[in-house]
Structure 1
Amino acid sequence: MTDKLPGLHMRIPPQPITERSTPRPVQRPENAGAAFQEILKSKLETSTLKFSGHAQARLRLRNIQLDAEQLDKLEEAVDKAAAKGSRDTLVVMDGNAFVVSVRNRTVITVVDRASAKENVFTQIDSAVLTD
């Protein structure tokens, strides 16, 4: 049952079979994973929080001022959330609520106690309550 199609006279010549080379495994130093973890940890510890434009506007609008001690507490809370694998967290501190992108270490928005009444926080995967 080899019907020939009119007008098709192309023929593909046979190709020789060649062996493929197997890739060599990559040799990595035994402590490469540990070194990476140490570098990552040091970067996270030394990085500071950023405030988005929206968060800065909310701070001004709601007359919320943060001192150095409060900023340190906020950074510690974000570090705790990062240690647990959080992506976006709600930090409740001194009567204010901060929604923070843990990955970017960026405060997304700030809500004071009066504005937070009966408010629902969405798109967070953790909450850190500070004293």
Structure 2
Amino acid sequence: MDNISINRVPLQPSIRQSLTSNQATSPKQSFLQHLHDATVKTELKVSKHANQRLAERNIQISDAEWQLVSEKVSEARSKGVNDSLVLMDQAALIVSAKNATVITAMDRKEAKNQLFTNIDGTIVLN
């Protein structure tokens, strides 16, 4: 047991700023903070490119549908997915789960004959 080494995970700048100079952070606290940051639900953002595609293709997604997409992307991120294909009745979205950002969008007819690369997860919504 004498050969065990423990590496400290560096604190994020925002966390470091919230600590006073008199507080010491144990590795356990640092790990718990990172775990919390990784599992906290993040609001889904839509990139400028994806917004343009949604408008050009007249794709309408309700607030309830966006909420469901956001929840499923958050769930996928917690399972290690970085980039996902989200298939909906009316649209197909490429979403960076890691960044909680919709990268692009297309209608389902357009998506039918596409080859999707560089994704590591698929979310199918009905």
Normalising to structure 2: TM-score of the pair? 0.72
The answer to whether the aligner puts 1:122 opposite 2:120 as a matched pair is: no
Of 68, 72, 79, 1:77 maps to 72
SS at match of 1:118: coil
Of 58, 68, 74, 1:63 maps to 58
**In structure 2, C-alpha distance between the alignment counterparts of 1:35 and 1:49, rounded to whole Å:** 21
Percent of aligned pairs sharing the same letter:
36
Structure 1 residue runs of 5 or longer lacking an equivalent are 1-24
- How far did residue 36 of structure 1 move? 3.2
1:54-75 CA distance string (max 9 Å, x none): 1111101110112110111110
Q: Which runs of 4+ in 1 moved over 2 A?
A: 25-31, 38-42
1:107-129 CA distance string (max 9 Å, x none): 01111112112111111111111
Larger Rg computed on CA atoms = 1
Of 46, 49, 53, 2:44 maps to 49
Q: Which has the higher helix share?
A: 2
Q: What RMSD over aligned residues (CA atoms) do the two structures have, in Å?
A: 2.1
Normalising to structure 1: TM-score of the pair? 0.70
- How far did residue 39 of structure 1 move? 4.1
